[in-house]
């Protein structure tokens, strides 16, 4: 209990710094939100001034900053400058496709990354190791937009195995592979190095001396102790999948939070950008707490250290 109280208290400065940075960045970005809302339509200075007053842009910076912090704590970040809809409703409308893409990419990345990492780790310096790491290197190195366009050309346009756009599981296959390849590359390399480190430990040699089967030694003894670094990576990467799939959503013309964030930044829609950052920060914090809980499940020794 004390451990989690400390973690929650430690979250406060993280939130304060993050929210302050996003407020400062939006303040220094060139462009008048009122002019962007008018989109070139003529308007008198009186109309512009009334609109600034309605949006609260006429108030001093420190007042706007304090108001933003209060609204962020309450979870009510107001209405969009451009659409005048509540920003929470706009985010919820785009949340489902982003979660679908994140879950699909996460499934592909974890499955491929674990398989490649385990194969390379239990057969080091073999052709299996070389082949697995070659595939992992491709996943990490290739840009997402190039991977997506290649998949579209080969499997969507030429072979016509799966649809390129639309709803449903079949339309989600190519975007999920595009997102998952990058995740699988880093995960496979990390699992390989963790397994190689664990396989040289004394308890692994003891398990082998007892006559246990090779797969039992690897899956029951080695994998459990090698999972902590990959679990940490997965916690961070899943947060990135939710909040950062801008390129993949653009290539496959999918709606989602990535596209919403890009458009809100270009339009300098301050409440919407602030809301996206606030909620994204919350996602990362929740994921980090879940990862901490998983540490104790994977390795009971960590739970004892936390308790003390």
Domain ranges of the chain: 2-74, 87-307
Q: Please report the pLDDT score of residue 307 as a whole number.
A: 45
CATH architecture of 87-307: Orthogonal Bundle (1.10)
**Burial class of residue 75, CB neighbours in 10 A (0-12, 13-18, 19+):** exposed
| 79, β-bridge pairs | 86
Of 35-44, 53-62, 146-155, the range with the lowest mean pLDDT is 35-44
d(CA 296, CA 293): 6
Where helices occur in 123-222 by DSSP H, the ranges are 127-141, 144-151, 169-198, 202-209, 214-216
Using DSSP, state whether 275 is helix, strand or coil: helix
Q: What CA–CA distance (Å, rounded) separates 107 from 185?
A: 13
Q: What per-residue confidence (pLDDT) applies to 23?
A: 85
Orientation angle between helical segments 228-243 and 169-198, nearest 10 degrees: 150
79 three-state secondary structure: strand
Mean pLDDT of 277-291: 79
Do 259 and 250 meet the contact criterion of CB atoms below 8 Å apart?
Answer: yes
Q: What is the pLDDT of residue 112?
A: 92
Question: What is the token pair recorded at 5?
Answer: 């109280």
d(CA 192, CA 115): 10
Q: Which of residues 180 and 239 earns the better pLDDT score?
A: 180
Q: How far apart are the first and last CA of the chain?
A: 10
Residue 248 near residue 175, CB atoms below 8 Å: yes
Cα dist from 118 to 186, 194, 203, whole Å: 13, 10, 19
| 94, 257 Cβ separation under 8 angstroms | yes
Confidence (pLDDT) at 308: 46
Mean pLDDT of the region 97-101 = 86
Joined tokens for residue 132: 């697995």
Residue 243 burial (CB count, 10 A):
20
Tokens of 284: 């990362």
């Amino acid at each position: 209990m004390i451990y989690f109280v400390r973690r929650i208290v430690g979250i406060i400065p993280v939130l304060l710094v993050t929210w302050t940075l996003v407020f400062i960045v939006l303040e220094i970005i060139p462009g008048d939100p009122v002019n962007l809302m008018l989109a070139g339509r003529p308007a008198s200075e009186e109309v512009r001034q009334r609109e600034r007053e309605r949006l609260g842009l006429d108030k001093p910076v420190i007042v706007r900053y304090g108001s933003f912090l209060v609204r962020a704590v309450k979870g009510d970040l107001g209405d969009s400058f451009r659409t005048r809809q509540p920003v929470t409703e706009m985010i919820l409308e785009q949340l489902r496709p982003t979660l679908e893409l994140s879950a699909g990419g996460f499934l592909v990345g974890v499955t491929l990354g674990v398989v490649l990492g385990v194969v390379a780790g239990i057969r080091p310096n073999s052709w299996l190791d070389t082949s697995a790491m070659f595939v992992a290197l491709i996943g990490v190195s290739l840009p997402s937009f190039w991977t997506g366009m290649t998949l579209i050309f080969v499997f969507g346009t030429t072979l016509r195995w799966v649809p390129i756009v639309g709803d449903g599981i079949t339309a989600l296959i190519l975007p999920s592979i595009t997102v998952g390849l990058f995740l699988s590359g880093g995960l496979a390399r990390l699992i390989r190095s963790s397994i190689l480190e664990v396989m040289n430990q004394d308890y692994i040699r003891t398990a082998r001396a007892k006559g246990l089967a090779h797969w039992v030694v690897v899956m029951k003894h080695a994998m459990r102790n090698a999972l902590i670094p990959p679990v940490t990576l997965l916690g961070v990467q899943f947060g990135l999948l939710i909040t950062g799939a801008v390129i993949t959503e653009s290539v496959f013309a999918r709606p989602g939070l990535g596209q919403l964030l890009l458009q809100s930044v270009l339009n300098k829609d301050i409440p919407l950008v602030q809301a996206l950052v606030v909620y994204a920060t919350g996602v990362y914090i929740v994921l980090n707490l879940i990862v901490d809980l998983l540490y104790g499940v994977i390795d009971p020794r960590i739970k004892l250290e936390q308790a003390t």
